[in-house]
Structure 1
Amino acid sequence: MRGAMLRPGAVAALVLCVLAGLAQAVSIANPWNGQPLWWLQLLSMGGLVWLLERCATPRQAALRGWTFAFAWLCGTFWWLYISMHTYGGLPALLTLLAVGGLAAALALIYAWVCGAFKVLAPVHPALRAIVFAFSWLLAELARGQWFTGFPWGAGGYAQLDGLALFARYVGVYGVGWIASLVAACVVLRQWWCLLLVALLAVAASAVTLPPSDPAASLSVTLLQGNIPQDEKFELGAGVPVALQWYGEQLGRAATPLVVAPETAIPMLPQQLPAGYWPSLLQRFASGEQSALVGVPLGNARDGYLNAVVGLQPGQPQPYEYAKHHLVPFGEFIPPLFKWFTEMMNIPLGDFNRGAVGQASLPVAGQRLAPNICYEDLFGEELGARFIDPATAPTIFVNVSNIGWFGDSLAIDQHLSISRMRTLEFERPMLRATNTGATAIIDYRGHVTLALPRLTRGALVGEVEGRGLNAASGWRITPYAWWVARCGLWPLWGLGLLTWALAWVARRRR
């Protein structure tokens, strides 16, 4: 068996798997302008289906699925090397092993699913296309939710300019499912199935929800400090620069809302220079302006929070949002891995979690829902705030520090993630980041204003909150409705039901 898998034809197939996987990575954010390429993602998935169709055994299919996924994932989040080696100080070889090991472990999910698909694949090509699409959906869901989840680079994000018109109904995982179905139908020449998808696309475009009356436009100032990551938490370097620049900008801003990024204030309030925090609180204690500022909170006894503090007039206590979805190794230490984090020079490495579905911050008739760093990657968690349409957010606010990953495609990929959230929930997104992309995204996923990356500046613009309809009350998308109540279980259920039916059909063959 081993000799058969090393034959020239088998090796060539694995090379094609690598090329198809790398094409999938490029489709998420291409290296020349950072934009997604929806057609390349379909071509990549079609290549995988073609390769799986030519597998003789489930084991061979599993190997090809693993090779495809390993190349795709390495090509998608290679920039983790920058955070761990350049800024974390982890030795280069160990960093390569860590990034490759993460990709290899996650690729096992796709290997298992591809092997299972080969076992379950029905005889009829149309049914095979459906089983493949649901199998791929299950793999994406597993990667996105198991072991805290890391769905960065999911195939649906490549479809922002393609099949994302379905996002308001089925979310990014559903969009990825449709893309994999289309790719499989093309390879298996099931044109009737393609026609059905095309008709659904026309219906999705034509059947609009009741129009949403925009709330009054809100003028905002988004701050981008561009503090070098290797200096950001240094008391003799980045800390005084951050305190001075953000202090000046927060005092100078003239718009009703000003937003500073994740850990813009890089010290606990009680550690700040005397008078700094009280003066900031006093600045927004009166008048008509509000601010959202990223700052760590807590103490050694109760633990620490990666937080956003809301400052506004007339409030006895500042608003607080605490990050719920923490980054493994960066914000919490998984069991048995303390030795690994001790090898890296990354500060503030163990936080407490905030709750899911925390309250929004009311500002000028809007309801602002903060999220921190890659929390906007988990739409099902943001969706928890939509359980009651009358209190659902009208604007998302993401505060991030992607400076850990340098001038890499991580910036472009994260912007695409935020764009997908705006399409799923039909709510605009404000992004205030340390190094980029600081931007205003409207509810249709369009970037209306943005600062150049790796520059220091303040972005001033208008954002239009969404959600209120004068005739029918507060409006949410179908995706927001079902994900708020059921999470991703409906997609899990459809995928597992398809596998169960395929298994029963196989036993009867």
Structure 2
Amino acid sequence: MPQTAEASRLRRTLTSAPALALVCGALVSFGQAPFGLWPVTVLALAGMFHLIASAPNLRRAIGLGWWAGLGYIAATHHWIVMPFFVDAARHGWMAPFALFAMSAGIALFWAAAAALGFVAGQDRTARLWALAIALPLTDLGRAYVFTGFPWAPLGAIWLDTPVAQGAALVGPYGLALVTCLIPAALLTLHRHLVVSGLALVPALALAGFGLLRETQPAPDTDLTFRVVQPNAAQHLKWDPDYVRDFFDLQLTLTEAPVEGPSPDLIIWPETAVAYGLGDKAPAMKMMAAASNDTPVMFGVQRRKGERLYNSLAVIGAGGQVTATYDKARLVPFGEYTPYGAVLDDLLGIGNFAAEAGNGYSHGPRGQVLDLGPLGVARPLICYEAIFPQDAGSNNGRPSWIANLTNDAWFGDSVMPRQHLAQTRLRAIEQGLPAVRAANTGISAMIDAHGNVRERLDLKTRGYFDATLPGALPETIYAKTGNLPGILLLFALYGVLLYRARLYPH
């Protein structure tokens, strides 16, 4: 009898609304890379919307939104524990706390969406539509609030479908709105056929636009790039006993025989050169010799006075530095720590990827590199590629996107696959090809439709030579950015909020 009572309690717990919300949130993640199961996301969102819209009061709705957000963020961000195990003896104990803290914190955005949806709806149906607007609104908020962290945006679930091409028109948050309108329409279809049917029109329209856009040609350039992937394990990458080995390996891959056209540019990944820029001139000369004076783009730490930068540099003949870019958007608590010196002294909290204390300094935003015959590159170092508002430039339109990254911190997890997916989305939004050089993978040549032309998979050592795809005409999103989406979401939410106040339940 006690066992029966215990089983009954367990059953009630597992079928409780918070548990169901948690499960729904976790299932929403299956639309993201590497799964791409967008129907699962749509159905899971429908379940989540139903739970929140049926909540008896605002407090309950907020709680359910938080539980759903916890499930989604934990499922899509669980890779955050991996850096703690690079030096497991020192940092491993922090991993579960970091995952919970991050998930619980970002889940507050979903709790806010639940609150916005609940207060703007005078009944269950109105709350469903309000949620369909509020969740994309808070998805957008993740790109800006507290320096921003828009990882795994809802709109990315469409990446391998024609709908994704709609990012060229409406950006990732317009895709998020389309995503959320579908479950709201499904839940109200039996009672409001016309309205629900109209809510499905944007998704169908973007699918049609995508099919048409995929036929739009973008002739290849006459440039050939070689992308080098050394597969340097993170726990060895900075080890003095291995630094020279990894450097020599990249030299060997750089000077490997050419089967087709000779490369016009050779690209190494983020922090590929451990010596620092300028303090080991012989290293630059060795790189130029290995490339036969072909320009080499590479990631490197650069010191200027008292400041240290996570940088990208280009060298030409003789190892002469011809261009540099300093990473503008740094990873909080990874590349810099606010009040880092104080925290390191008091609590021993330094940085994983940078020096202890304040870490790297921020470079200026929106820089491009005019590389002459190689075109105008928009550099995005690692984490910068997840910010759609940063992929363009205020200094004229780039020719291509250069994404140098080191995802070795995160091992063979979903993170490098999700990171690649978001770089592909940037290519679609901007109508530009993107070249991705990743230390341990996934390196890729991506065309302006977001298709991967060439790639080196995770944990692979090697290189590829590929023609740089051409650019498409400048997209509407590249011209307008997120502003139209922000105005539309606020306008739609304002209409629902006004209606709720005008016609209270």
Structure 2 length normalisation: TM-score?
A: 0.87
Letter in 2 for 1:116: L
Matched, 1:504 2:498: yes
Distance 1:278 1:248, change over 3 A: same
Aligned to 1:358, the other structure's residue is in SS state coil
Q: Distance in 2 between matches of 1:188 and 1:397?
A: 44
Aligned to 2:360, the other structure's residue is in SS state coil
1:69, 1:110 within 8 Å by CA — same for their partners in 2? yes
Deviation at residue 128 of structure 1 after TM alignment: 4.4
Distance 1:495 1:90, change over 3 A: farther
1:25 to 26, 29, 39: 29
- Residues 203-244 of structure 1: CA distance to partner in whole angstroms, max 9, x if unpaired? 52476599665362321111111111101111122x111221
* Equivalence map 1:426-465=2 (5 Å): 426-465=431-470
* Equivalence map 1:399-414=2 (5 Å): 399-414=404-419
Match of 1:480 in 2: 478
**Equivalent residue pairs, number:** 479
Aligned to 1:255, the other structure's residue is in SS state coil
2:314, 2:321 within 8 Å by CA — same for their partners in 1? no
* Equivalence map 1:259-278=2 (5 Å): 259-272=267-280, 275-278=282-285
Matched, 1:220 2:243: no
Match of 1:470 in 2: none
Deviation at residue 14 of structure 1 after TM alignment: 1.5
Deviation at residue 368 of structure 1 after TM alignment: 2.1
2:222, 2:467 within 8 Å by CA — same for their partners in 1? yes
Distance 1:25 1:399, change over 3 A: same
Deviation at residue 84 of structure 1 after TM alignment: 2.0
Q: Distance in 2 between matches of 1:23 and 1:282?
A: 52
Q: Distance in 2 between matches of 1:359 and 1:198?
A: 34
2:285, 2:319 within 8 Å by CA — same for their partners in 1? no
- Residues 364-411 of structure 1: CA distance to partner in whole angstroms, max 9, x if unpaired? 35322221112110111112x1x46xx411211111110001111111
Q: Distance in 2 between matches of 1:241 and 1:154?
A: 38
2:354, 2:360 within 8 Å by CA — same for their partners in 1? no
2:83, 2:352 within 8 Å by CA — same for their partners in 1? no
Distance 1:96 1:182, change over 3 A: same
1:182, 1:194 within 8 Å by CA — same for their partners in 2? yes
1:348 to 352, 355, 358: 355
Aligned to 2:151, the other structure's residue is in SS state coil
Letter in 2 for 1:348: E
Aligned to 2:450, the other structure's residue is in SS state coil
Match of 2:314 in 1: 310
Match of 2:384 in 1: 375
1:38, 1:161 within 8 Å by CA — same for their partners in 2? no
Match of 1:257 in 2: 265
Q: Distance in 2 between matches of 1:92 and 1:458?
A: 33
Q: Distance in 2 between matches of 1:365 and 1:54?
A: 57
2:424, 2:446 within 8 Å by CA — same for their partners in 1? yes
Q: Which consecutive residues of structure 2, in runs of 5 or more, have no partner in the other structure? A: 1-9
Distance 1:446 1:200, change over 3 A: same
Q: Distance in 2 between matches of 1:208 and 1:458?
A: 31
User: Percent same amino acid among aligned pairs?
Assistant: 25
Match of 2:6 in 1: none
Q: Distance in 1 between matches of 2:203 and 2:177?
A: 15
Distance 1:341 1:186, change over 3 A: farther
Q: Distance in 2 between matches of 1:228 and 1:347?
A: 17
Distance 1:120 1:103, change over 3 A: same
Deviation at residue 188 of structure 1 after TM alignment: 1.9
Letter in 2 for 1:493: L
Match of 1:495 in 2: 489
Deviation at residue 507 of structure 1 after TM alignment: 2.4
Structure 1 length normalisation: TM-score?
A: 0.86
Distance 1:502 1:195, change over 3 A: closer
2:228, 2:464 within 8 Å by CA — same for their partners in 1? yes
Deviation at residue 362 of structure 1 after TM alignment: 2.4
